[in-house]
């Protein structure tokens, strides 16, 4: 069985490889989604200035890191991004191997 520390090291290595290939700009910032054991975090980041433009997480929600919470986080980030005039983003899956489950459900609302 793979240990938690090794699993995180593998995820970080994959994330670093992805980040070498993509970057967010002012016109099209990067949407970073991270899923921990208990929570889901989403941020819209402008890599040119190094600023987080929009963020949301399940820490304040009572639902935790399940699929319903992922949909709420996706909707919250999309609404906040539209208020700031952000229409398109570059999706950064944060080193997760597959875009499925909670990660998948946090992303469809970003397109609206």
Q: How many C-beta atoms lie closer than 10 Å to residue 74's C-beta?
A: 26
- Does the pTM surpass 0.75? The reply is no
Angstrom CA distances, 1 to 7, 11, 38, 56, 90, stand at 10, 16, 21, 33, 34
* Cα torsion through 99, 87, 36, 51, rounded to 10: 140
Tens-place pLDDT, residues 70-101: 888 888 999 999 999 998 888 877 766 555 55
Give the mean pLDDT per block of 10 residues along the chain (112 residues): 80 79 80 84 89 90 78 89 90 64 54 45
């Amino acid at each position: 069985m793979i240990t938690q520390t090794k699993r995180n090291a593998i995820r970080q290595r994959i994330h670093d490889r992805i980040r070498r290939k993509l970057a967010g700009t002012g016109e099209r910032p990067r949407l970073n989604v991270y899923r921990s054991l208990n929570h889901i975090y989403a941020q819209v980041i402008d890599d040119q200035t190094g600023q987080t433009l929009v963020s949301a997480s399940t820490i304040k929600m009572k639902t935790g890191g399940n699929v319903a919470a992922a949909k709420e986080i996706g909707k919250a980030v999309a609404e906040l991004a539209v208020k700031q005039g952000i229409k398109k983003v570059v999706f950064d899956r944060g080193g997760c191997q597959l875009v499925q489950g909670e990660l998948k459900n946090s992303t469809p609302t970003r397109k609206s």
